[in-house]
Amino acid sequence: MYRDKAMTFWKQVLWSDESKYNLFGSNGKVMVWRTSKEEFNPKCTVPTVKHGGGNVKVWGCFAWNGVGNLFFIDDNMTGEMHKNILAENLFQSSKKLKLGPDTVFQHDNDPKHTSRIVKNWFDKHRVKRLIWPPFSSDMNPIEHLWHDLERPMKNHQPKTKKNSDKHFKPNGKISDQM
C-alpha cells in the first residue's frame, strides 16, 4: 500500500502511540524451577512491591525530524481522553516539527483510537490518517523511541512516580538524553 511512497510523503507522517513504564519490575512473572527435594534458595528470589510498584503511562509522537509532545496519562485511556490528548497535542506537535498542512497522522487500530468520538474529531479537523493494518502495532517506529525511554528507567529504577520525571523534561517533552 505504501511501498512506493516517496520520502517526501514519509517526512509528513506524525507517528504516535502510548506506552507504559513499570516503576519496579516487569509485567511478567519470573519462574524458578526446582525439584520437590531441593531446598528453597534465597538467591533464586526477586524482591517485589505490593501492587507492582506503580507505573507511568504516556502518549507521545514524533516525525522524521524530531519528537513532538509527550503527555502523561493518569487514568485508563478512553476514546474521549484520546480525543482530548489529540486536541491538545497533535497540531501543536505538527507545528513544532514544521510538518505543514500535508501532515499524515499515524496511530494503530486500538479501539480507543478508532472510537466514533475520535473519528468524528478527525473528520471535523480534516486530519489525514495513515491506514494501519490490523494487529501491526510492532510496525510502528515509535516502538524504538519507547525502548530508548525505557532503558534508563530499567537501569535506575525510580521508587515513585514523582522520581520518574528525571527521565522526562518537566514541561512534558521527551528528555534530550534519549
Residues of the domain holding 69: 7-167
- Asked, for residue 31, whether it belongs to a domain, the answer is yes
pLDDT reported for residue 134 = 75
In a domain, 175, yes or no: no
| pLDDT given at position 163 | 56
How far is the C-alpha of 46 from the C-alpha of 139, rounded, in Å?
33
Residue 40 is assigned to a structural domain of this protein: yes
Confidence at residue 33, expressed as pLDDT on a 0 to 100 scale: 73
Structural domain total, the chain: 1
For residue 28, the number of C-alpha atoms closer than 13 Å in the C-beta half-sphere is 2
Average pLDDT over residues 60-85: 93
Characterize the bridge pairing of strands 128-129 and 104-106.
parallel
Q: pLDDT value at position 157?
A: 57
Q: Is the pTM of this model over 0.75?
A: no
Give per-residue burial for 8-24: e unless 16+ CB within 10 Å, then b: eeeebbbbbbbbebbbb
Q: How far is CA 172 from the centre of its chain?
A: 13
Which domain CATH number covers 46? 3.30.420.10
User: In angstroms, how far apart are the furthest CA atoms of the chain?
Assistant: 69
Across 39-50, average pLDDT:
68
